[in-house]
Chain A
């Protein structure tokens, strides 16, 4: 009986830890390429859903969330329409060959890909297909539809992006805090020079250096494909460097701002130790602005994944998009664009809600 009442009191707390542990174990298990039990997915997913629902309802955010979702749908709809129409009206295509094809062949190809219908008809067919999750058929990979190809590539890109972001936060926040707590010292300057170098380093300079050292000389990691932890580390480090540097700089400037505020002076004045002030009061408050920039960070990681996937021959979405451009595989270009946009829109939505969650001063409306 006592246990039940204690559970009732602390259920939010327990759920928070459960969610954290669940997602952490998902990340770790996927990183070590362990088989993930279905139950873990379901458990973490439902914890997240329940927590999110509770938060939205208790904060009266239902209208806001619905509005944001409708907006997101509208944005995706506009992107889909614009891209579809632009890619249909530009001249040339994958079926242009040196030798003119016989008209019967052209007619057959057009019929297969629904290119003989009037434009508005093609458009409405495509849009209705989108509603069913059908992204059309690839021009180049015969007999495979775009949804299948994207479905295979998406988990790979997600893994790459999530690991890189986690790495970036794990390095960037401590580095920024370290630099700020030793403001204007040698350590501060050195960290910041490292950070600004990290922002300026193009991935195709970091990658060869890491590859030569860790793969060719030390033989620790693999240099291509995406098959297990020894394949993951180099691309994740390369993709995570620049976000880590940006987070470090943001954290530092935000911490410096907070350190000067009145409530920190009060905390110090009442005799709290330096460590307690730094970790309990400063860090918590200074992470809020860092969180705001997670939106642009996600956008940056999505863009960066193109180069990293190219370098390490990772079969992700970016690589598919690059190849589909070379192949003029328009349905695949369209499909990957849409998936990228959906990821970015979702990430921004989540960041906005998290932002309000961590900073109650923010009112979402």
Chain B
């Protein structure tokens, strides 16, 4: 399953392993970034994963030009075919080319994953910064809200939010309408963990000497957060982002698989898995193709995130 809040666990490992905020402490941050980058390039798995992620992103962006057919083009004379030269991955029950659906699926899945991760990152960072920086009563009220959202299992919250947004028709365009529910649900749900972690990081950085110095020099709170705190928690935030994207891709596919996500004829990997599930016994290739696509993408993102964490967290060196 891995509906696990894996990004939270990775983030917690990051904090637990004593990210002492070495960036910006003493040495100039430039050299630390460079050193981290050098270490990252030595991690072969992470580099391969980076290429794979770039490959999937390119496929997603150029889907209409790469795909041999359209995602909803039916060939009723060629239904449920095994892989062949005309249809590399075969066709599904409606005679649609599986490879094309996989490519368009990459477009939908990646778009959903990246957009929602960015939105929740934006909300979570601002929320976490405010909460961590202000401290005191503001912090405890803001964290209480987070605790409440945290007490609902992620998928339950996703379903609830989606039910609510689906009943409000914001758009008339069917493609946008199919996507808004999912996009909003994943964004609304995803920021909670990020806010928690960002808050923890801000509270650590807040105690640093350079922040005190900036305060003593009379800088505004906003300026300090923007110029001193934020750059110093950027590393963990980027690592979190690389874990949030695959998590959102996975949740999108979960939702689509249980029939509450993207609706046909649109194609995402979860929708394809759901379609394939119906004819598993006779035509397992319909299920395996999207499953493998999700697996490889998740794996690449996770390895990439691990690589980034190991490279930019000096405490983790040599593990």
Task: Give residues in A with beta carbon < 8 Å to B.
Answer: 75-76, 78-79, 83, 86-87, 90-92, 196-205, 208, 211-212, 216, 238-239, 241-243, 245-246, 250, 253, 256-257, 289, 292-293, 296-297, 299-308, 310-311, 318, 321-322, 325-326, 333, 336-337, 340-341, 344-345, 348
Contacts and interface: CB of A to CB of B under 8 A. Distances in A.
A90 B4 contact: no
Contacts of A256: 319
B292 interface: yes
A304 B253 CA distance: 12
- Name, among A75, A256, A292, the residue most crowded by chain B CB atoms within 10 Å (CB to CB): A75
A204 B3 contact: no
B156 to A, nearest CB: 5
A337 B152 contact: yes
Interface in B1-35: 1-6, 8-9, 12-13, 16-17
A242 B2 contact: yes
Contacts of B9: 246, 250, 293, 296
B276 to A, nearest CB: 8
B164 A200 contact: no
Contacts of A199: 2, 4, 6, 298, 302
Contact of B303 (A83, A196, A289): A196
A207 to B, nearest CB: 9
B299 A197 contact: yes
Interface string B126-155: 000000000000000000000110011111
Given A90-B168, A208-B291, A336-B156, 13 more contacts: A90-B163, A91-B168, A202-B254, A246-B4, A253-B13, A292-B12, A299-B5, A300-B2, A304-B2, A304-B4, A306-B3, A308-B1, A326-B259
Contacts of A253: 13, 17, 319
A79 B3 contact: no
Main secondary structure of the interface of B (DSSP, over half): helix
B298 A200 contact: yes
A307 B164 contact: no
A87 B164 CA distance: 7
Contacts of B303: 196
Contacts of B306: 196
Contacts of A243: 1, 4
B90 interface: no
Interface in B217-256: 246, 250, 253-254
Contact of B299 (A200, A306, A321, A337): A200
Nearest to B156: A340
- Name, among A198, A303, A325, the residue most crowded by chain B CB atoms within 10 Å (CB to CB): A303
Given A306-B254, A325-B163, A202 B2 contact: yes
B151 A212 contact: no
A79 B5 contact: no
A281 to B, nearest CB: 20
Q: 7 tightest A-B contacts by CB?
A: A304-B1, A205-B291, A303-B3, A300-B4, A242-B2, A200-B298, A303-B155
21 contacts: A79-B152, A196-B299, A196-B302, A197-B295, A202-B254, A204-B277, A208-B280, A243-B1, A293-B9, A296-B4, A296-B9, A303-B153, A303-B154, A303-B155, A310-B257, A321-B159, A322-B259, A325-B260, A337-B156, A344-B152, A345-B151
A211 B253 CA distance: 20
B160 interface: yes
Contacts of B294: 202, 205
A87 B4 CA distance: 27
A307 B12 CA distance: 26
A173 B190 CA distance: 29
Contacts of A336: 156
A201 B299 CA distance: 8
Interface stretch (B68-76, B80-88, B206-214, B281-289): B281-289
A203 to B, nearest CB: 4
B257 A307 contact: yes
B273 interface: yes
B167 interface: yes
Contacts of B281: 216
B156 A200 contact: no
Contacts of A250: 9, 13
B302 A306 contact: no
B258 interface: yes
B295 A202 contact: yes
A207 B147 CA distance: 33
Nearest to B2: A242
A271 to B, nearest CB: 27
Contacts of B6: 199, 246, 300
B1 A242 contact: yes
Contacts of A306: 3, 155, 254, 258
A202 B298 contact: yes
A353 B155 CA distance: 26
A87 B162 CA distance: 11
A241 B250 CA distance: 15
Contacts of B164: 86-87, 90
B82 to A, nearest CB: 16
Given A322-B258, A337-B156, A238 B1 contact: yes
B263 to A, nearest CB: 12
Contacts of B254: 202, 303, 306-307
Contacts of A212: 280, 284
B291 A79 contact: no
A318 B260 CA distance: 12
Contacts of A91: 167-168
A302 B259 contact: no
Contact of A340 (B147, B152, B295, B302): B152
B139 to A, nearest CB: 16
Contacts of B258: 306-307, 310, 322
Contacts of B153: 299, 302-303, 340-341, 344
Contacts of B246: 200
A297 B291 CA distance: 23
A297 B3 CA distance: 9
